[in-house]
Chain A
């Protein structure tokens, strides 16, 4: 399976600031996904990022709050903008494995907003 890394692994930020999370995979992948996992909760898809096109956002998530870049087939970034304490979550990227529907997850970025 693909090796996926995320940076930073954790961060503590002040409200009103922005944080950019990086996701790097060791092989080329078609689709990359960003999820949010609020404390003690399940995973919720934020958006799907394909290289060379705009990210597709799920209901309840908007580009102004969560801008995403996908400059190539191995890398993506998610920015959490104008943060509030409600943004405190684990942010996870995942990638398609090449097998239909199958996804592998990165280790996550643990964000705390004060």
Chain B
């Protein structure tokens, strides 16, 4: 089955700096790669996703890149703000419906 590895496990950045989280996946058939943000005491919130026919996608301060050859994808957050502090999860899916395989998560701390 699919295996998703996520690094780093924790990331501390100064406000205004950029943050990058990287994930690798094992199943070359994976074709959908979402990123979720989970704040303390809340459920995961979908913040951006990318499909295998696209190499990069951007939404304001966040962007995701996908390298299908190397089987890795990354989340980039620019101009970080304290409200970006949360746990971020990557995931991958090969199925047409459901069955997301999640990475272990990255705790991001943005210090003012």
A interface with B by C-beta (< 8 Å):
1, 4, 30-31, 33, 41-45, 48, 92, 96, 100-108
Contact = CB atoms under 8 A, between A and B. Distances in A.
A43 B98 contact: no
Interface of B: 31-32, 34, 36, 42-46, 49, 89, 93, 95-100, 102-105
Contacts of A96: 97-98
B104 A42 contact: yes
A102 B34 contact: yes
B103 A101 contact: no
B7 to A, nearest CB: 13
Contact of A42 (B32, B95, B102): B102
A44 B2 CA distance: 13
A70 B28 CA distance: 33
